[in-house]
Amino acid sequence: MKVVVIGGTGLIGSKVVTTLSEHGHEAIAASPETGVNTLSGAGLAEVLTGAQVVVDVSNSPSFEDGPAWDFFTTGTGNLLTAAEEAGVAHLVALSVVGTDRLVASGYFRAKAAQERLIREAAVPFSIVRATQFYEFVGRIADSATDGDTVRVTSALAQPMAADDVAAAVARAAVGRPANAIREVAGPDRYPLDDLVRTRLRAQADPRQVVTDRDAAYFGVLLDEHTLIPATTADTYDTSFTDWLIDHAPAPTR
């Protein structure tokens, strides 16, 4: 089966391409680096020729309201048009658990608009909403840093490994279209401040994490449920502890 992976050279996309290829599928990594640009539409018709499935794990390079909106609405519109014209039978898109609860952020309003475009289009679809990646915890810390202090809310999160996100997306790609949203998450829940504190400690990062219940998460105030998946979510086994062991920084001399 030919599967085109939009964003196929990125963190998740490259793992999806590898997983699908190892299972005997023709997985094509499509991104601006390979001449495919959903925002301009360049290369879409050519790469989708003969494809049964298209996977979209691309992400806006900017969290700013305008660029994120343009990326997710224009890019998704172009992809849906090209997929329908090519006769693609299934579109799989990666989204974020809590998107519908994070609309105070322009980025997440854009993600919600992307989901809506996919649901209303003619192409059969599956939307996979994932929780925060373990790999993303450092970025959360950086976004909340002021000097040597990292101010983070204690709201709960249920993060997961990027490898498991890719496995969930690949599984959706080879399955039947769900025409619905599926949620995936890691095995454990953590207060977000503890998650960041543990990550920085593992990196020997000297920044101090201060718990602030009113600290914003990328501009959004969180409650205990904002980032938590539904009870029907599929959970994957990789724990944060095991991930930290596998991603320990190299010893310095």
Examine the pLDDT at 70 and tell me if it is beyond 80.
Answer: yes
**Per-residue confidence band for 189, with pLDDT thresholds at 50, 70 and 90:** very high
7-40 tens-digit pLDDT = 999 999 999 999 999 999 999 999 999 999 999 9
Q: Tell me if 157 is assigned to some domain.
A: yes
- The widest CA-to-CA distance across the chain, in whole angstroms, is 58
Supply the pTM of this predicted model: 0.94
**Per-residue confidence band for 250, with pLDDT thresholds at 50, 70 and 90:** low
State the Cα–Cα distance between residues 215 and 143, nearest whole angstrom: 11
C-alpha distances (whole Å) from 79 to each of 28, 56, 93, 108, 145 are 15, 9, 11, 19, 36
Q: Tell me if 158 is assigned to some domain.
A: yes
DSSP string, 13-80: HHHHHHHHHHTT-EEEEESGGGT--TTT-TTHHHHHTT-SEEEE----S--SHHHHHIIIIIHHHHHH
162 three-class SS: helix
State the Cα–Cα distance between residues 141 and 134, nearest whole angstrom: 12
The pLDDT assigned to 63 comes to 86
C-alpha distances (whole Å) from 209 to each of 20, 146, 199, 218, 222 are 39, 10, 11, 16, 17
Q: Tell me if 204 is assigned to some domain.
A: yes
Q: For the chain, what is the domain count?
A: 1
Interhelix angle for 75-86 vs 106-120, to 10°?
Answer: 20
Q: Tell me if 14 is assigned to some domain.
A: yes
The pLDDT assigned to 251 comes to 47
Q: Tell me if 252 is assigned to some domain.
A: no
The pLDDT assigned to 32 comes to 96
Place of tokens 């990125």: 10
Amino acid at 28: I
Place of tokens 């854009």: 110
**Per-residue confidence band for 252, with pLDDT thresholds at 50, 70 and 90:** very low
C-alpha distances (whole Å) from 210 to each of 158, 197, 205, 214, 228 are 20, 9, 14, 11, 22
152 three-class SS: strand
142-172 tens-digit pLDDT = 999 999 999 999 999 999 999 999 999 999 9
Give the CATH number for residue 188. Answer: 3.40.50.720
- Rounded mean pLDDT of 215-231? 94
Q: Tell me if 80 is assigned to some domain.
A: yes
Q: Tell me if 77 is assigned to some domain.
A: yes
Q: Tell me if 251 is assigned to some domain.
A: no
Q: What percent of the chain has pLDDT over 70?
A: 98
**Per-residue confidence band for 248, with pLDDT thresholds at 50, 70 and 90:** confident
Mean pLDDT across the chain: 95
Its domain, for residue 67, covers 2-246
